[in-house]
Structure 1
Amino acid sequence: MPVYQYIAFNRKGKKVKGIITADGPVSARMRLSQESIYPLELKELSRVEKSKRRSWGISIFQRIDPQEITTALRQLSTLVSSGLPLIDCLNGLIEQIENQRLKTIFTQIREKVVEGNSLSQAISYHPHIFGEIYVNMIRAGENSGALDIILERLADFSERRMKLKRRIESSLAYPLFLIFISTVIVIFLMSFVMPKVISIFEGMKLALPLSTRILIFFTHFMRSYWPLVILGIILAISIPYIYIRTEKGRVLWDTLRLRIPLLGKLHQKASIARFTRTLSLLLQSGIPLVDALEISRHSAGNRIIERGIEEVIRQVGEGKDLATPLKNTGRFPPVVIQLIRAGEQSGELEKMLSKAADLYEDEVDTTVQYLTRVLEPGVILFMGVVVGFIVMAILLPIFDISGGIK
């Protein structure tokens, strides 16, 4: 159902803004007039967003911050726990949301609920925002009568994942900044300093050192073939990117990611942390183990691990325990297997999975900090060598000239 944005006068003559869903503009005006709201301007929201995207050429208006989704879930949980009807809870939530696109989505969800759908059915119409885990957990909360608790758990789950992602991003920000600044310095030296110095050396007909000849060759090459260099860089990035988006390419890329020294272990730990955290949350919500495994399988973020979990799902469905098939995949460390086996024996599987997730989230954080400490001096040392090579390639001929004058 279309969503319309309106500017109108209310019964007190005050100008108001808002959004409303209706079958068409005539229906929207009629609904507004029934509420004593008299529209001055009425636009379909999807067309407004399209015009914004055309004017800027990018989709920044389509972006929804995960933090806003987490906040919305937490607010909805609070409203539901107060005992208000779900429609009133959604109305209260919509009034508090500032992001226009998120407000539109929750307005459409409210209309689906008004039509007689459950909340889980309503959010399933927006898979790009609310994935399978949200739909299944909310359905479990509706069936158990604990929707407010489930929404709170979903908000905590989203917040944990977001914090882990931001810790990794913040740890890598400084090394990436160093690489960027160092690259700019080298480009500046090669573009503006070296051409002037090279013209001096070429005019003197000197026997130049090897380092200087290498630098002159590289500078001439960059000046003469820079379009090809740029094209080569673009192709070197775009071709692997396009290939990775295919199923074969994704499998190959995920295999390589698990085998890269240091980074492979980090990726594996992050995948295990996501999988165990998601599985724990689904089991706490009362979802059967086989269904929970099927949903949480996609959270691993690696095709190789996901294929191993597919076999685990088959064996668990046949009546086997969870720990043994996971061990047979060869992708889960012994400590995770031991925690899961202990959880199965004690009847507290979801708690043991949560402990495994806590353990590996901490290990991911520690590993990222270690790599950052190693990467920072490594980048500085490498760029120091590059800049030092350029400086020595310039100075050595100058020293030779000075010696010849003496």
Structure 2
Amino acid sequence: MEADNEAAVRDRLTAQGLVVNNVKKKPMELRLPTIGSGVALKDLVVFTRTFSTMVDAGLPLVQCLDMLSSQAENPRFGEMLGKIKAEVETGKSLSEAMGLYPKVFDDLFRNLVAAGEAGGILDLIFRRMATYLEKSAKLRRQVKGALVYPVAIIVVGLLVMVIMMTFVLPTFEDMFKDLGAGSLPGPTRIVLAISHFITGHFLLLTIVGIALGVGFSAAIKTPQGLLIFDTIKLKLPVIGNVVRKGSVARFTRTLGTLLASGVPILDAMDIVAKTSGNVVIQNGILYAREKVAEGKDIASPLLETGIFPPMVVQMIGVGEQTGAMDDMLQKIADFYEEEVDAAVAAMSAMLEPLILVFLGVGVGGMLIAMYLPIFDVAGGIK
């Protein structure tokens, strides 16, 4: 708790109905700089779970925030909660106070809290948010792992081959000269030519590689570049299937959570579009939102986009007709999260042997090419 002195702390705690035995001044802390918001998803999940339990137990809102700010494992997050508590004490709503930190409490979070405040179901909203965050984190890990794993293995394999060509192969070449090997076999000459090119143009190749990386990073920060990149991600063989199913699961889970919490459909679709994580999906959702604003149902424009599978759209249509769209969306999300599990497992089972073959042919081929002259020399001695 922040206050001018220890007496002020005692007075504030006593006013909240608490018995104060001891007040200790918190020592100064040396804090390392943080990246972005400095708050991990784990911190947010623990906060939402604990907050819902406290509110459900009947504790006042300010007291909940006070206790959570002082008990937070992340000092930066604790400081944020302390400032939010101070804003609430001035008369602001919790959702408004959370607007101080939009990187931590995004539009989705704040709109759900606002709906909970309006309906008097803040504890229920926070339980839903905790469940949503946990499932979203799991889904994000799965999709990210599916994309990162094969790329990481291939990059490591290429680095191994570059290191071999830069440092190992020149040693073999010197050894061939010492052995008096005559005309080298074709595979050996090709490998040595590549090695000479890399060592002779190492600085240039490094600069080109860095330039390509910087150029790619800059390109995907532009609207058109990001659109192209996200389109390619959805159309990639195997990996695109995982990304698409993950996007469907995220869309249905987020929209279902918002609608179940009482957020109006148009506002909910706005928020879902912003949190979709893919520009192509975002554009499709915004197109559907425009049609809904014109008085159309949600299923037809979603089908027109060609992004969402027909089965998903049909189930959303059924939910819309029966008045149980939030439940239907949650069921679709559960199904597609399981589909992502299965797709990731299938992709790993298919890509792992292909990657091993790629590495085996690359590294093994170089080794064979370098040992061929040694075999020739040994055969000549016999």
Q: Structure 1 length as normaliser, TM-score? A: 0.84
From 120, 133, 137, the equivalent of 1:145 is 120
- Map of 2:281 onto structure 1: 305
TM-score (norm 2): 0.89
Kindly indicate whether the alpha-carbon contact (under 8 Å) linking 2:285 and 2:302 is maintained by their aligned counterparts in 1.
yes
Q: Are 1:130 and 2:130 matched, yes or no?
A: no
* In 1: Cα distance, 2:102 partner to 2:268 partner: 18
Q: Which moved more, 1:176-185 or 1:149-158?
A: 176-185
Structure 1: gaps spanning 5 or more residues? 1-18, 21-27, 54-58
Q: CA deviation at 1:40?
A: 9.1
- Bigger CA drift: 203-212 or 273-282? 203-212
Tell me by how many angstroms 1:248 deviates: 1.4
Aligned to 2:191: 215
**1:41, 1:163 → 2: CA distance?**
37
Distance apart, 1:306 and its partner CA:
1.4
CA deviation string 1:13-46 (max 9, x = no partner): xxxxxx62xxxxxxx5x34453366869768xxx
Aligned-pair Cα RMSD in Å: 2.3
Using the alignment, how far apart are the partners of 1:98 and 1:388 within structure 2? 50
Give the counterpart of 1:327 among 288, 291, 303: 303
Cα shift readout 1:315-339 (whole Å, capped 9, x = no counterpart): 1112111111111111111111110
C-alpha deviation, 1:185, in angstroms: 4.2
Give 5+ residue unaligned stretches, structure 2: 11-22
Which residue, out of 237, 247, 257, partners 2:233? 257
> For 1:248 and 1:179, how far apart are their aligned partners in 2?
28
C-alpha distance after superposition, 1:333-379 (max 9, x if no partner): 11111101111121111111111111211111111111111121111
Amino acid at match of 1:196: T
The correspondence for 2:73, drawn from 98, 102, 113, is: 98
Greater Cα offset, 173-182 or 335-344: 173-182
Question: What's the counterpart of residue 164 of structure 1?
Answer: 139
In the other structure, the counterpart of 1:347 is 323
| Residues 1-400 of structure 1: pairs in structure 2 closer than 5 A | 20=2, 30-35=4-9, 49=31, 52-53=32-33, 59=34, 63-169=38-144, 178-179=153-154, 182-183=157-158, 185-202=160-177, 204=180, 206-400=182-376
Shift of residue 184, structure 1, vs aligned partner:
5.5
Change (3 A) 1:181 1:238: closer
- Give the superposition deviation at 1:181: 5.5
Q: Aligned pair in 2 of structure 1 residues 167, 250: CA closer, same or farther (>3 Å)?
A: closer
| Alpha-carbon offset, residue 174 of structure 1 | 6.3
Question: What is the CA-CA distance between 1:381 and the residue it aligns to?
Answer: 1.1
| CA contact 1:172–1:372 (8 Å) conserved in 2 | no
Q: How far does the alpha carbon of each residue in 1:119-141 deviate from its partner, in whole angstroms, 9 at most, with x for none?
A: 00010111000100111110010
Q: Equivalents in 1 of 2:252, 2:36: separation in Å?
A: 34
Whether the 8 Å contact between 2:316 and 2:328 is mirrored in structure 1 is: yes
Number of paired residues?
Answer: 369
Q: Counterpart of 1:35 in 2: which secondary structure?
A: helix
CA distance in 1, matches of 2:370, 2:131: 58
Fraction of identical pairs, as percent: 37
| Cα pair 1:153 1:281 within 8 Å, conserved | yes
Name the residue aligned to 1:15. none
Query: Relative contact order (C-alpha < 8 Å, sep 6+): which is higher?
Result: 2
Letter in 2 for 1:214: I
